[in-house]
Chain A
């Protein structure tokens, strides 16, 4: 990325807006049960807030906020949270992804609700990390030249 054109207005606005986008992303993830939203949409918003910082500031600041070497491991971790929820259900005697067997609550419908929340968090984490990592990888060449 080109470091020279660091416009103060752009970077100031980006620093102000970025946390709000991130907050909204978290809201979309955690409020997915009650309103349109969910892991993928929220994860995209989180990724957007991180990418906004990378575009507006120097790549050094972006790296401080979210190092690009974290991208793939965090993405794997996100998918692993999803997979692990399914695997836990399998461990407690149900089929894969059968949240009714997770010992999270008494009522079966509440157990499923908790299961959905866990899964959505995994989705959000994975989507955020991987979108940022794809962005970084696509710009890799410019960083080096």
Chain B
């Protein structure tokens, strides 16, 4: 049974996604417990997979028992093990949060399909990360995207429009990727990633291959929300329910980033993406523009969720920049930032959800220091995550930026170094705007009395424990992983570097 462990995380999610509509039709509460159980088991298995990959190197799992170019294989190596562990851990924490948040935001008869869709989304995300087959990646990409469209559309009133816009962009992305796969297949005659890698090594680059790479870069770039292709992201993040934003922001864009890292660095190879077409350079330039653009747009927003969405565009830019540098430090920085941004964004979106839960809004201009007194733990978590976002030393946010900066110095790209420094300042500006209001803005007396009255009437000041605990776990994880960063880099990420860097 344990020899099947590489395939188990996506399969467990898939089984739960299928089983929830069957089992939990009558008992709505059961769907949550099934989802929670599946997520914990899948997290355990992905941690086990990671340890396996670290001790044994790359492991191939063959579906149906067919050898790779004939059948479909899953590839478990340190990189895929690391990323599945990260997203499953974050998903576990957010699912705990979803218990009360969903109960409040979504009608009861929708709980069952909601949890089923979350499970299917996680199954798609895990499948994308583990797969070693081009077409299988497309199928799981579509599972993940379709379930996201549905999950976004149960948010507030504007959410169906946001979801529809995402659907159009996402389908174009999937179509471009599939067309790229078609050209690659016609050139090489194979769909297996490892096989294609070996074949391309012996084949001189031709126009169809170059166009295939361009198409895949555009397609996966849309999924990752690289700068000019980010149009769907702000609306989708803003209008989705809080638990959906919190599960989509850390995982949704990261799977695009991972797919780009996997396909361009491990399959096409460094030579093809730097010398034949300037894919890496284009990616890093677009990401640099995206970092500045996202940060500036985030400063202009008045709604915390929307601000976080624009900040996501900037943060995804860091990952793209790190990948595009084509240097070991840059790659490590990008991978560390996948972990890092996942934790930070999940934590910030959970706090935004807490604010909406207690206050009924999350507008920055209506915050004042009553928040600090009403919700001390939430605001502390927000501050910690914001500090990590800016890159203050003991948190994990500092270290990924440190490695990215080392990468820019290594490749002598001083402009990108300047972009990283400037964007840290911009991050500081837009987060301190919120923190300043939370801690130092005195509220008016009359309003204070009213607020106290409201607080007494509700009987509690802070949000309930099941909402608070996930926020605190994530905030704590930011510090813990900050102290563990050398260990993570030495034992995991150094082994995950592609050949030829």
Q: A95-B61, A98-B65 are in contact. Are A76 and B11 (CB under 8 A)?
A: no
Per-residue CB proximity of A108-121 to B under 8 Å, as 1/0? 00000000000000
- How many residues belonging to A are interface residues under a CB distance threshold of 8 Å? 17
Compute how far the CA of A56 lies from the CA of B41 in the bound complex, rounded to whole angstroms. 49
Asked if B65 and A100 sit within 8 Å, CB to CB, the answer is: yes
Compute how far the CA of A77 lies from the CA of B22 in the bound complex, rounded to whole angstroms. 7
Q: Nearest B residue to A101 by beta-carbon distance?
A: B65
Contacts of A80 in B (CB 8 A): 18-19, 22
Rounded to whole Å, the gap between the CB of B4 and the closest CB of chain A is: 6
Of residues B11, B65, B113, which shows the largest number of chain A Cβ atoms within 10 Å of its Cβ? B65
Asked if A90 and B22 sit within 8 Å, CB to CB, the answer is: no
Rounded to whole Å, the gap between the CB of B3 and the closest CB of chain A is: 9
Rounded to whole Å, the gap between the CB of A10 and the closest CB of chain B is: 34
Compute how far the CA of A94 lies from the CA of B477 in the bound complex, rounded to whole angstroms. 39
Asked if B21 and A73 sit within 8 Å, CB to CB, the answer is: yes
- How many residues belonging to B are interface residues under a CB distance threshold of 8 Å? 17
Rounded to whole Å, the gap between the CB of A115 and the closest CB of chain B is: 9
Rounded to whole Å, the gap between the CB of A42 and the closest CB of chain B is: 21
Asked if A96 and B22 sit within 8 Å, CB to CB, the answer is: no
Contacts of A90 in B (CB 8 A): 1, 4
The 8 Å CB contact of A98, one of B21, B64, B113, is B64
Compute how far the CA of A23 lies from the CA of B328 in the bound complex, rounded to whole angstroms. 62
Q: Nearest A residue to B25 by beta-carbon distance?
A: A73
Compute how far the CA of A74 lies from the CA of B62 in the bound complex, rounded to whole angstroms. 30
Rounded to whole Å, the gap between the CB of B63 and the closest CB of chain A is: 5
Q: Nearest B residue to A94 by beta-carbon distance?
A: B65
The 8 Å CB contact of B14, one of A72, A75, A83, A95, is A83
Asked if B18 and A83 sit within 8 Å, CB to CB, the answer is: yes
Asked if A96 and B18 sit within 8 Å, CB to CB, the answer is: no
The 8 Å CB contact of B64, one of A75, A77, A79, A99, is A99
Contacts of A128 in B (CB 8 A): none
Compute how far the CA of A142 lies from the CA of B65 in the bound complex, rounded to whole angstroms. 49
Q: Is A51 an interface residue (CB 8 A)?
A: no
* A24-58 interface with B by 8 A CB criterion: none
Per-residue CB proximity of A57-77 to B under 8 Å, as 1/0? 000000000000000110111
Compute how far the CA of A58 lies from the CA of B19 in the bound complex, rounded to whole angstroms. 33
Q: A83-B14, A83-B15, A90-B4 are in contact. Are A76 and B21 (CB under 8 A)?
A: yes
Rounded to whole Å, the gap between the CB of A114 and the closest CB of chain B is: 14
Contacts of A76 in B (CB 8 A): 18-19, 21-22
Asked if B19 and A95 sit within 8 Å, CB to CB, the answer is: no
* A-B CB proximity, top 6 nearest: A98-B65, A76-B21, A97-B64, A76-B22, A79-B18, A98-B64
Interface CB pairs A-B, < 8 A, 11: A72-B21, A79-B18, A94-B65, A95-B7, A95-B61, A96-B4, A96-B11, A97-B63, A98-B65, A99-B64, A100-B65
Known A77-B22, A83-B18; further 9 A-B contacts with Cβ < 8 A: A72-B113, A73-B25, A83-B14, A83-B15, A95-B64, A96-B4, A97-B64, A98-B63, A99-B64
